[in-house]
Homo-oligomer: A and B are copies of this chain.
């Protein structure tokens, strides 16, 4: 059997909750597949093949469009909680009992909702360019950047994902080339879908008392990846996530923006691989030889008390 990759994996469909979910699944069959949750306005074609194929070398990866996005039916709900519930329904429809979950931007928020609502379903989390509920968006330039005009229009994503340095721009142009390689493309997300996503984002970031409390219940080993100067979800939010999650590693890449993992795809794949592979050793092994293992399964009550 030929193994599919980012370019060749057929779009498949599965139904749950009355929604027909579009997805692609490829890579090396192994224990726990890795589910990718996409950013604002993104479809399955918005992922970087260098990242998806890179991670597919050691595991199956699953790309999908959540409800109401692109080739999936249904409506985009106006809360992250409902998006999380839809993603959980999709995972269930695939018959999967355990997944690793990667989320980018609002996908990272959906990933947190999946882990919160269905903790037993999630083994490990990778959050890229994400923030917590009630995130500090005071320095975000998101509104201004998405309202801008770009020639060609695709260069919007240079402004969103990449640093304006020469290296950042070169990495961005290389990413766009990779992104556009696939021919049979998903339809773009509708304006209606984008509006609902925007509403969900606004609600998610609303300040509230004890808004970060939910994070202490996300006990899965988590890798947080962020750019040094994220103009969409300000970088400080990755630090806040790390400090409030019980078992999270943070990596901040230099000279990088919202799409830090697309600026350094090989480095990211190596870091994410190390994170996901160390986890495969299992919790018991960890307790036997803590010096070998990055993610102890027991987190002290003292950790954040002092």
Is residue A280 contacting chain B, with contact meaning CB distance below 8 A?
no
Q: Which residues of chain B come closer than 8 Å to A276, judged between CB atoms?
A: none
Which residue from chain B places its CB closest to the CB of A274 in the assembled complex?
B270
How many monomers of this protein are in the complex?
A: 2
Q: Are A294 and B267 in contact (CB under 8 A)?
A: yes
Alpha-carbon separation in the docked complex, A287 to B287 (Å): 43
Using known A-B contacts A243-B235, A254-B247, determine if residue A294 contacts B264 with beta carbons closer than 8 Å: yes
Alpha-carbon separation in the docked complex, A239 to B264 (Å): 20
In A279-306, which residues have CB < 8 Å from any B CB? 286-287, 290-300, 302-304, 306
Q: Are B167 and A296 in contact (CB under 8 A)?
A: yes
Q: Are A303 and B228 in contact (CB under 8 A)?
A: yes
Which are the 8 A-B pairs with shortest beta-carbon distances?
A: A167-B296, A165-B300, A250-B252, A167-B290, A171-B290, A170-B290, A267-B294, A164-B302
Given A164-B303, A171-B290, A263-B290, 7 new contacts (CB under 8 A): A166-B296, A168-B290, A168-B300, A242-B252, A246-B254, A247-B254, A255-B300
